[in-house]
Structure 1
Amino acid sequence: MRYVIWALRLLVFVLVLLFALNNTGPVDVTFYADYVLHQVPLIVVMLVTFIVGALFALLLILPSALRRRREASRLRRELEKMRQQANKVLGDAPKAQTPAPEVVAPLAPM
């Protein structure tokens, strides 16, 4: 399965690389207030657009990820507290004698 995933990654990389190499022509990029960048390679424009989109996506995901991390931390603390309480209750109860292994399964004669 690991090899299939790596083969798919390689295939996607090659397809993206071929797409990028076919789109290297110069383009004019117009911003607000009539500010224009002339003759910028299209691949650079696509790369910058992808990076800006990825950063916006990370900024949108960040609050919920932090909230989940905080909740998981709270649940771990609560679980540890419950384990300590259970150990305290079980520690007060008399311990049952566990039989020796030889009693449960006698050793075979030599």
Structure 2
Amino acid sequence: MRYIVWALRLIIFVVVLLFALKNTNPVEVGFYGDHVVSGVPLIVVMLVAFVIGIAFALLAVVPATLRRRRELKKAQREVQRLQDSLATREVQGHSDPEPAVPLAPL
């Protein structure tokens, strides 16, 4: 399985490399305020756009990841508290409480 993953990575790398080599034509990049940068290779523009997209995606995922980490820590503390409570209960010799018997109707 490991060799298949490496083969796929190599194939993807070669395809991306060939794509980059075919897109080296210079282009003009226009910014706000009539500021234009000319002579930038197209692949550089595409790479910058890709990196900016990844950065925005990561920023969008960060709040949910932090919330999940907080919930996990809270659950781990609760499990530890329950385990400690059970351990102290066993040390004190308490057994399970007797089952409740329903009262007879009046």
Report what 2:54 is aligned to. Answer: 54
Tell me if 1:18 matches 2:18: yes
Q: Which residue of 2 aligns with 1:82?
A: 82
1:88, distance to aligned residue in structure 2 (A): 0.8
- Deviation of 1:27 (Å): 0.4
Identity %: 52
The whole-number CA distance in structure 2 between the counterparts of 1:74 and 1:90 is: 24
Q: Distance in 2 between matches of 1:2 and 1:80?
A: 38
2-side partners of 1:69 and 1:26: how far apart? Answer: 45
Quote how far apart the aligned CAs of 1:93 are.
2.3
Output the TM-score relative to the length of structure 1: 0.81
Give TM-score scaled by structure 2 length: 0.84
Q: How many residues align?
A: 94
**Structure 1: gaps (5+ residues):** 95-110
In structure 2, the gaps of 5 or more residues are 95-106
1-side partners of 2:27 and 2:17: how far apart? 19
Residue of structure 1 equivalent to 2:31: 31
Q: Distance in 2 between matches of 1:85 and 1:15?
A: 59
Q: State the match for 1:63 in structure 2.
A: 63
CA RMSD of aligned residues (A): 1.1
Q: Distance in 2 between matches of 1:49 and 1:67?
A: 29
After TM superposition, the runs of 4+ consecutive aligned structure 1 residues lying more than 2 A away are none
- Using the TM superposition, give the Cα deviation of residue 32 of structure 1 relative to its aligned residue in structure 2, in angstroms: 1.3
Q: Which residue identity is paired with 1:69?
A: R
Query: What is the match of residue 4 of structure 1?
Result: 4
Shift in Å, 1:31 = 1.1
The CA distance in 2 between the partners of 1:72 and 1:53, in whole Å, is 29
What is the rounded CA distance, in whole Å, between the counterparts of 1:53 and 1:37 in structure 2? Answer: 21
Give the whole-Å Cα distance in 1 for the aligned partners of 2:61 and 2:23. Answer: 31
